[in-house]
A and B are shown apart, each in its own frame.
Chain A
Amino acid sequence: MALRLYHKQAPPLGDLEREVMEVLWHDGASTAQDIHEQLSDARGMTLSTVQSTVERLSRKQLVHREKCGRAYRYRALLSRQQLLARLVAELVTDFSSTAPRAGVGVVDLSAGVDDSTLRQLEAWVADTRRARRLEDGA
């Protein structure tokens, strides 16, 4: 597959899973207790909800867990940028397929215009602009 950097599909994230990932991206490796402290005020959730959420993220291979004393510490395996890059790549692939697509992009990310064509088009626009300025001046 041509998408070498984004060879894995971005797994679906629920609201709670996304919030946990946001904590891990912001604070780095954390225990479920740490994450709970960050989220409990805003969401009023229990520690066991947080624990099951990070376990789910671990199964989705979005976080790595390592034993730290009696608890596990969780670390995000994908940065926010990497996850976004996967999502965008998948959407672009969806949009460029012949199947029904639910979006469009300003430039066709899948079309592959080569550099020399691009330079020729830029020169064409620059020449036109110059010619129009000359006409306006005259």
Chain B
Amino acid sequence: MNKQQISQLIDQVDSSYAEEAAMCFISPKSCSKSSALVLILLSLVCISVFVILPGMRKTDTDKYGISKLVPIEVYSEEILSVVPKESDMVPLNQEDVSRFLSGNDSLCPAQDQEHRYFWAEQDASGVKNVFLNWSFGSDYSKHYFNSVFSFIPDTVHAYRDVYLRTFHENVRTIGNYQVCLIQDQNEVLHLFMFSGDQMISLTCRRQDKGLLGPAVRMLVDDGIKRDALE
């Protein structure tokens, strides 16, 4: 049987069976008695949590803007496999680090030999960010993404708690970092790296996911420190 025949075969499924199955994900409680019982218990737990800590989860979600992010489902392992293992780490070139951190708080663009464009600035709220566009290969216009390093000790722990709790299945430990990979509704990948007071966010298009590995290799290093920017 070829795929087309199989597909046509499945098409013959009686509508009553198809609709019965659809009700499983529309109303999971109709699937089985045991799942209904689980749902009731879960509801009770949720109510208890919300009574004890009213609105806390919702506040977190709204405050940190994660309501529009979803855990990667089908392809999570495939994508996470591009993130290198700790044993694959190579130290960041110290010369690059120095050059990279040479920007002051004012806009200070610079370019190194590997087509990495970077600058540091302080936003209105006092958060210090380093922006980095970089490319791999000869045509950087097709392969780049931005990195934002935000050193906000007062809130970075809260961000970390919320992200790592909500997307715990997508979290890996690499070197000193806890790395969390998520994609948004537009299939844009967001990779968050947490270490101490430091939070690094990498964003790239899904089709450029192969860039995440080299990027993380460059970033997981003690060379980039909050102290260096202060």
**Chain A bound to chain B:** no
